[in-house]
Structures are given as C-alpha cells and as structure tokens.
Amino acid sequence: MARYNVSGNPNVSELRVNIGDDPTHFGDKLVVGVTEGSETWHPRFIIQGDGGVGIGTVDPGTWKLAVNGNIRAKEIKVE
C-alpha cells in the first residue's frame, strides 16, 4: 500500500491516494479520498482491479460504474 499525503496536519483537508492489493478490503484497487477536519478518512472514488468504478461509494459491487449521488450528463446512449 502506498500513500501520498499532501498535508501532514490532521486538522486540514488533505488528499490521499491509496493503491493496494489487500483482499480483505476490496482486493486490487486505487482509492482517492479526503480527511475533513479530523483524522477520519472519507473515501470518495475507487477503481477496482476488475475495472469497477465507484464514485461516492467504495463498493461498486458487480457494476462497472456505481454512483452514490446525482449525475448530470449532456447525452447518454444506451445500446
């Protein structure tokens, strides 16, 4: 696991990028998240080793894209 921590102060928002292969925490993945005024980690975006992407969720399940929140798009084509 690797971590890049922009701010060393836990009371300041920071960016962390975690890359890991821990099978107990969703297997191979890239996770981007923040801490907001505390040491509590809030994951915001995940790309799993199988290509699944989660936005606002760390578990996209069997979906290729899972979003927990509103989505805006200019156009969506369903085939």
What global pTM score does this model have? Answer: 0.65
- Domain spans of the chain, in order of start: 2-67
Question: What integer pLDDT is reported at residue 55 of this predicted model?
Answer: 95
Per-residue model confidence as pLDDT tens digits over 12-48:
555 566 666 665 655 677 888 777 666 777 788 888 8
For 4-75, strand residue ranges (E) read 14-20, 29-35, 41-48, 53-55, 65-67
Question: What integer pLDDT is reported at residue 66 of this predicted model?
Answer: 96
CA 16 to chain centre: 10
